[in-house]
């Protein structure tokens, strides 16, 4: 059953992988920036206590008085927590380490799995007119990640091109299935994107072959290469598209954004 309260023109996507270091935050930031470059309005929800998406977009720690922690657990509105970034059209709800204790505090709340869902469906969301909301999830399948999945229309999975990459995917798919059965029947897989791909490396090629053989069209055509510019950009608090638009990494994220837009053409973005 579809959610009658959802903002019809906004696609909410959780960027999820329970493994750390797979390019999850990097993909969230750079896909968002590339969607903005295509003329869309995007909001990032930083749901990772490490706050790397916030830092990577230049949100100073001192300016994070109201964050995703308050959005989930205190009586604050989205309007109070949303901040602008240096990229026009890209906004963020930042995170701090305070979020690390949220999992325990959420346990006592009877609506614990639906708090982000309800927060993202406040009436004032229509005023912002976002085309996409990307949720950068923590590297675990905890209550914060479940909140993201319950709040989202789909899940995007960055998959590092390395040995054992596919093993953790089965547990993630089981969690998606469980959320679909219990809380969000409309949740879908947006796609799996191969990250840190090295075309000269036989292992990367093998991971791609295995992923496409097992997951078929679920795997995006675009592969994100291992690229030094992508790694450098966060230290300048910029998406790679702003840091070095001619780099292979920036071009790859542009291609991924176009694939995502094509998949969602029915939303009339």
User: Can you say whether the dihedral through the CA atoms of 134, 137, 139, 140 is positive or negative?
Assistant: negative
Q: Look at residue 25 and tell me if it is in a domain.
A: yes
Helix segments in the chain, DSSP class H: 24-37, 52-56, 68-73, 78-81, 102-106, 115-119, 125-128, 143-151, 167-182, 202-215, 228-232, 240-243, 248-263
Interval 190-211: pLDDT, tens: 999 999 999 888 888 888 998 9
Q: Look at residue 47 and tell me if it is in a domain.
A: yes
Least confident of 115-124, 173-182, 210-219, 253-262: 115-124
Side-chain half-sphere CA neighbours of 159 within 13 A: 31
Q: Look at residue 4 and tell me if it is in a domain.
A: no
The maximal CA–CA distance of the chain, rounded, in angstroms, is 52
- 38: tokens are 């295509």
CATH number for the domain harbouring residue 201: 3.40.50.300
Interval 112-159: pLDDT, tens: 899 999 999 887 676 788 999 999 999 989 999 999 999 999 999 999
Please, which pLDDT band fits residue 110 given cuts at 50, 70 and 90? confident
191 close to 56: Cβ distance less than 8 angstroms: no
Q: Look at residue 81 and tell me if it is in a domain.
A: yes
Say which residue the tokens 């999975």 belong to: 157
d(CA 158, CA 16): 7
Domain residue limits at 51: 11-260
Q: Look at residue 35 and tell me if it is in a domain.
A: yes
Q: Look at residue 266 and tell me if it is in a domain.
A: no
Q: Look at residue 189 and tell me if it is in a domain.
A: yes
Q: Look at residue 265 and tell me if it is in a domain.
A: no
Sort strands 90-93 and 83-84 into parallel, antiparallel or unpaired.
antiparallel
Based on the structure, what is the number of domains in the chain?
Answer: 1
Predicted TM-score of the model (pTM): 0.93
């Amino acid at each position: 059953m579809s959610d009658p309260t959802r903002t019809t023109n906004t696609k909410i996507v959780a960027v999820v992988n329970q493994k750390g270091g797979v390019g999850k935050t990097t993909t969230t930031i750079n896909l968002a920036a590339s969607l903005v470059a295509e003329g869309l309005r995007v909001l990032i929800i930083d749901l990772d206590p490490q706050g790397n998406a916030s830092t990577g977009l230049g949100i100073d720690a001192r300016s994070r008085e109201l964050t995703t922690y308050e959005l989930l657990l205190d009586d604050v509105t989205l309007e109070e927590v949303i901040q602008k970034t240096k990229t026009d059209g890209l906004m963020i709800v930042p995170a701090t380490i305070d979020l690390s204790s949220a999992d325990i505090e959420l346990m006592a709340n009877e609506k614990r799995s639906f708090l982000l869902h309800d927060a993202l469906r406040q009436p004032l969301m229509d005023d912002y007119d976002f085309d996409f909301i990307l949720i950068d999830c923590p590297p675990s399948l905890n209550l914060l990640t479940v909140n993201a999945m319950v709040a989202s229309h789909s899940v995007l999975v960055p998959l590092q091109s390395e040995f054992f990459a596919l093993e953790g995917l089965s547990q993630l798919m089981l969690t998606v299935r469980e959320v679909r059965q219990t809380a969000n029947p409309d949740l879908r897989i947006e796609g799996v994107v191969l990250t840190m791909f090295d075309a000269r490396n036989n292992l990367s090629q093998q991971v791609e072959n295995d992923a496409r053989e097992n997951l078929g069209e679920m795997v995006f055509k675009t592969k994100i290469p291992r690229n030094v510019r992508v790694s450098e950009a966060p230290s300048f608090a910029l998406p790679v598209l702003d840091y070095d638009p001619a780099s292979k990494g920036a071009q790859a994220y542009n291609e991924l954004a176009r694939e995502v837009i094509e998949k969602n053409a029915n939303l009339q973005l």
